[in-house]
Amino acid sequence: MTGPTPKNIANKDWFNNPALVRVLDLLNGDGGETRIVGGAVRNALMGLAIQDVDLATTLLPAETQARAEAASIKSVPTGIAHGTVTLVVDGQPFEVTTLRRDVSTDGRHAEVAFGTDWQADAERRDFTINALYADRDGHVVDMVEGLKDIETRTIRFIGDAATRIAEDHLRSLRFFRFFAYYGSGRPDADGLRAVARAKDKLSTLSAERIWAETKKLLTATDPSRALLWMRQTGVLTEILPETEKWGIDSIHGVVAAETALGWKPDPLLRLASIVPVDAPRLAEMAKRLRMANAEAARLESWATAPVLPDEVTDVGFDRILYRAGRDGLVMRLKLAMASVRANAEGDPVAMRKAARLSVLLKRAENFEKPVFPLSGGDVIAAGMEPGPKVGALLAELETLWVERNFSLDRAALTARLAEMVDKAD
């Protein structure tokens, strides 16, 4: 980003969104003042896409709700204890939070008091770039030198870094996540010292919060610089001890491959590149972080997927896909491609290997697992008594079907089944 940061955002299309205009007009005037705050202002100033639009107001939550009701606008008390009411206009949600200050905090939860002091509200936030406001006319209001930090892409805690972290220990992780998304150069020195000293406090947070924040960080366009500094401060080992004796350099190849090949940034793939391929240990990690069942299953399928032979035919690969499943092999292929591509320049052998991996990856991504035409009921109907032999016979038929490249239809398999049952008698 070059040039001075603009001080007015009224010309932005999103700012003139009729739904937002309606909310701003509703909550300004008659003794109330409401401003846009946080991410929408930050991203607008940095030329980035706007996601959610949050608002800060001097109105108490009850007054916000009353004004919404009078204007036939739906209001939802999403965080009423902390002053947040969500107004929904034309299907678009706007979180409106009353100005507040922290009365007490234990590093995880805060007790707040509502007020009308914009300076106090700004100073209780985490980073300077997140504490910028825009008033009804689009004028940017900066009380914490956030505009300067946006120009230099500096992620800096507001006031004393240690104090901000003590208010919410998750801010140690947010420091690195925001650095990954918006930072440049070397992280703020005071921030680095503060997160290093407070790293042991991360253990007081819920696993869900830690994993959610880590996953957001791993979704950044390039999280490698943030991960490097997380390792330097000991934070990475604190939340992901699996990485302690495992290099994190492999993530560079994954990010480069994603960029070059158009892969969507994949936090689990990136995580897989910095942890050992150890199914039991990964299962423990998934349990500790309380990952979703689908996430844990995907990591397990990757860790237990077979290592592909150097030479494998398309048909042979389909058989492997049928037995091992697609998800784990897709991850293995992508990680292998990333590794080969990172060292392939000028090496014709590596280039050929990368090309072959690309073919296999496409085949894996398009693979639809065929359905075996028979069931245990068919074996019993053919005359086999219920029992262990039913499963064994069915498995033998399935193996034959796989070896014949899934080409035997139900009729052919039923005929073979009849022969096998007769022999068994």
- Spatial contact of 48 and 75, defined as CB atoms under 8 Å apart: no
Share of the chain above pLDDT 90, in %: 78
pLDDT recorded at residue 55: 97
Least confident of 2-16, 202-216, 294-308, 311-325: 2-16
Q: How far lies 275's CA from each of 241, 278, 306, 340, in Å?
A: 9, 8, 18, 18
d(CA 413, CA 278): 39
Supply angle C-alpha 217, 268, 127, rounded to 5.
Answer: 5
What mean pLDDT do residues 89-103 have?
90
What mean pLDDT do residues 339-362 have?
86
d(CA 380, CA 393): 10
**In this structure, are strands 84-89 and 92-98 parallel, antiparallel, or unpaired?**
antiparallel
Residues in the chain, overall count: 425
Q: How far lies 55's CA from each of 37, 214, 277, in Å?
A: 5, 26, 45
Can you give the pTM of this predicted structure? 0.87
- Spatial contact of 127 and 158, defined as CB atoms under 8 Å apart: yes
Tell which wins on pLDDT, 345 or 241: 241
CA 102 to chain centre: 29
**Predicted confidence (pLDDT) per residue in 236-278, tens digit:** 999 999 998 888 989 999 999 999 999 999 999 999 999 999 9
pLDDT recorded at residue 245: 82
279 token code pair: 């199914």
pLDDT band at 346 (very low <50, low <70, confident <90, very high): confident
**Predicted confidence (pLDDT) per residue in 138-192, tens digit:** 999 999 999 999 999 999 999 999 999 999 999 999 999 999 999 999 999 999 9
What mean pLDDT do residues 187-204 have?
96
Q: How far lies 57's CA from each of 11, 26, 180, 361, in Å?
A: 22, 11, 30, 51
Tell which wins on pLDDT, 108 or 407: 407
Q: What is the mean pLDDT of the chain?
A: 92
pLDDT recorded at residue 150: 95
**32 residue type, one letter:** G
**At the topology level of CATH, where does 158-240 sit?**
Hydrophobic Seed Protein (1.10.110)
What mean pLDDT do residues 365-369 have?
93
Strands, E assignment, 70-213: 74-79, 84-89, 92-98, 100-105, 110-114, 133-134, 140-141
What mean pLDDT do residues 351-360 have?
89
What mean pLDDT do residues 358-375 have?
93
pLDDT recorded at residue 82: 85
**Predicted confidence (pLDDT) per residue in 103-148, tens digit:** 656 555 567 789 999 999 999 999 999 999 999 999 999 999 999 9
Share of the chain above pLDDT 70, in %: 96
pLDDT recorded at residue 2: 46
Helices 224-233 and 250-261, packing angle to 10 deg: 160
d(CA 205, CA 198): 12
Architecture of domain 1-152: 2-Layer Sandwich (3.30)
What mean pLDDT do residues 83-95 have?
95
pLDDT band at 97 (very low <50, low <70, confident <90, very high): very high
Domain boundaries, the chain: 1-152, 158-240, 246-369, 376-422
pLDDT band at 6 (very low <50, low <70, confident <90, very high): low
pLDDT band at 1 (very low <50, low <70, confident <90, very high): very low
Q: Which of 372, 390, 368, 392 has the alpha carbon at shortest distance from 381?
A: 390
pLDDT band at 387 (very low <50, low <70, confident <90, very high): confident
pLDDT band at 4 (very low <50, low <70, confident <90, very high): low
**396 residue type, one letter:** E
What mean pLDDT do residues 405-411 have?
92
